[in-house]
Amino acid sequence: MDKKIIKKGFAEIQVRASGMLQKHKFNLKKEKSAFGEYYLLEIEAPISLSELMRIANEVDLPVRSLTGFFFPNGKSPKDFPVKK
């Protein structure tokens, strides 16, 4: 989990959409689960599933878009707790 993203509250990530590289802004959100609150990156734009999986593994944070919701490989909400 990148502490810079948590401090800024967003991440700008290059995404391949329609064959072009585009820079999108992902906002940091808090989500509730059975394990407590955890961080995730969210964007309102539809992004392909393969790109969402790549982004989740690259930044080591869960990612949500209109097309889906992905955690990094082998991780669950309890791996991204919100520190109080």
The predicted-structure confidence for 9-23, as pLDDT tens digits, reads as follows: 999 999 998 889 999
Q: What is the pLDDT of residue 55?
A: 94
* pLDDT tens-digit readout, 40-76: 999 999 999 999 999 999 999 999 999 999 999 999 8
Q: What is the largest CA-CA distance in the chain?
A: 41
Q: What pLDDT is stored for residue 19 in this prediction?
A: 86
The pLDDT value recorded for residue 84 is 65
Task: Kindly report the pTM of this predicted structure.
Answer: 0.85
